Structure 1
Amino acid sequence: MSYYPTPTALFRYRVVSAIEALRMQGFTLADAVCAVADQEQVTPKGVVKQYSPRTLYRWRRMFALGGLAGLEPRKRTPLLGSRVIEPSVLDFLVREHKEDPHASIPELLRRARVQGVLRERQPLDRRAVWRAFRRLGLNTDRQRRPGHADVRRFSYAERMQMVLVDGCHFRAGPQRARRVAFYFLDDATRFGLEVVVGRSEHTEHFVQGLHALVRRFGLMDVLYSDNGSAFVSEDAARLLTNLGIRHITGTPHYPQGRGKVERFNRAVRARVLNGLTAADVDPSPASLTLRLRHDLLELYNHLPHASLENQTPQERWDASPRSLVPPRDEAWLTQCFVLTETRRVRLDNVIQYGGKLFEVPAGYAGKTLTLHRRLLEDNRLYIRHQERWLRLAELAPHFNATQQRAPSSRPSPEPASPHKNASMMDFERAYGSILSADGGFSDPNPDKE
């Protein structure tokens, strides 16, 4: 019967041959083994590693006793169970695990101690239990699975019925700066719509990408995202409400529900993101946005897609019969990106917003104002003042300490006369008014001529 050596046996024979070659050059056995042990070897699986002298001595002895066949890996009899766990204890743990698969291994050990199967102070490492479960083929994964949720796969048939958005974290530049790329992807056609790069996962960058997308391609019916802070913020919810876009968020900690986005992220990392740490890459968000937008629109959209029957996203996008839904006009779109807030003006003519103080014109002390926050202008605040829009400036106390407020153009109102109190009324009843003809003094002898 012919013998076919395995790659492992051939690899070990090559290492043993290197030892024997050094001995033929005059090296002692110890020196030859140490010299080969200092060398890096490439295993049949492509792993580069070094082997200890003890391993090399063992391989040389195996070859001397059995030849090339002696270098074959030993076939070990699989161990079912454990050598360190008593059979009664292991049977109890296996039975409890089958009845309650969600119970953790520490919980199973506590149950064993409570039931008296495991003595109170008997040491038992949970790692030994885990290894025994793995040998017995028991599933010990703690992967979350939605209970009675609808986990059927779905996809929309036409373009812009649903848009997928996700933030992909990566490093850029020689300093390996942290960056986040917000990708917008059409669900039906996998067409790349927009990408915006930011320094962190903030709603501001999501707003910028959404505005550019709507201006170029129009409104989508549904937006699908995960539960990232940029997508579930109050600003994002109010903005999508203004645009009339329905928002769906995936189940937390369940990436299987976002398979299309996760697959896209893995592909874009391998294609472009992993190479952005080069020395000639500008890590500024604007430069990275330009670079990634070119990759998305000019390269990715023209690559064949396996799930599209080897069509490109651009071909599938152009073949969709669904018409795009543009915004009503530019003014309406701009107004949708304006959020309103109400604040009460303090007596020193300042309002507080976002932990900061802003000055308002004189005359609004104690009143409630409607603030218009423009998301496309770095969240700047505006109010309607004298039939025009006035941008509020942040309070500058050091400037106010050296500069006087401009005089008011309105004339000062005449001071109103105070109302008579009870004491004045009683005095006039007893003595008369000082403005009367007698000056408020009566004649002490009225009958005398």
Structure 2
Amino acid sequence: MDDEMRRQIALFRYGLIAPLLQQSPRGAQKPILEATAKQTYTLPNGEVRQFSERTLERYLANYRKDGLDALYPEQRADQRRPRVLPQSVIERAIALRKEQPLRTVEQLVVMLETEGLAPEGFIRRSTLAAHLRKAGVERAKTLRKQRTWQRYTANEVHEIWQCDICDSLRIPDPASSGKMRVARLVAVLDDKSRYICYAFFSFRENLPALEHALKKAIISHGTPHVFYCDNAKIFQSAQLSEVAARLGFEIRHSRPYLPQGRGKLEKFFGYMERSFRPEAELCVQRGTIANLDDLNRYFSAWLEKMYHQRVHSTLKKRPVAVMESHGPLRLVDPVVLEDAFQWTYTAKVDKTACIRVQGNTYEVEPILVGQTVSLRYDPYNLARIQVWWEGKQYADAVPLKLRRHTDKRVTQADAKTDEPTVKPGISFLETISTQREQERKEKLGRTSFVRTTKEGERT
């Protein structure tokens, strides 16, 4: 089993125990353990199996002791030995699956053993499942039934965050000679207060944009207990799962084609489209919004002065007032936060103890020659890359030829955080933006600074 598969299995195991991390008393854990143990899961390697309560408790204890690295599976002693499944067994399994697409891999194994095609225990479910996927005969999913919905709200602030992306207005893109492009709003909403922990507009709907929003929200508010999102590709990424595992929160996905669970965020998007978008389109026509920086500055002012201060129709309170009632925040050490958001990449070390990453050449320890190593790095800084092999960290890779300083999947615009200067003009958004800036200056003016002597006396 290679390092990448071991990493995926570790993240899968974390997903099993994530709901248990916030339940300290054993009495609260027991129902979750029982429900988890009754379900059948498909592992990243294709194996279909169940997990006993004892196994789940062991995963939980290991994670609490040594973190995500403790969930990595140990290397098999026979990992380089071939395990061959006869072609006759594969063909019969395919025929049985085609006969009844709802048959599970476990049922197929029992049927093949009953027919005498293989001795008991010879067929591994993961191996058979991989052959069935390759043949294009995966198990059919049952039809969904009609169901009713009930309203749900988190019990505490920062218990559940919802995240989604909404296509909005078209604005000029200076990087494309002023061509009009769709701006997409990435938003993170607190379920209890309806407060927007962080949101910004981007031209891209990709992992860097999602990570930027999540990281900014965590810096300001700490980590949630649950991060709730849909099943889009960026929310299913192993990178996001690893961030959650290293920072200790759970990722939950809404069921495909059932967006009702994200209704609170959808309502925010609807209000934004009715309230902010018309004013922003007017600014685009007047030329006061000429790029993403302008749009995000106006949006930030609108969010703070309008949405957060508006009495919510369901809560009967302002989101900012509910947010102030939060308990202790689960703040994250900056060093831990940076490590958690590192990206992972695998590369093979050549005979000269060098690796190549996106056109850059690095030198690693000679002992790693011929091995496929895991690399961890900040996508905005390719000058420093950590080197890992079989769960052990080696000396950082030494740059020999550095042609790129950032990952090709991100741009400098993704990393930019400076607020731009607003162009002159008259509009509703400019008015509230000016008010917001004035309030900031007044707060700073009321702040007093005290100088102390070496003995600690105030002067």
Q: TM-score scaled by structure 2?
A: 0.48
**Higher RCO (CA-CA < 8 Å; seq separation 6+):** 2
Q: TM-score scaled by structure 1?
A: 0.49
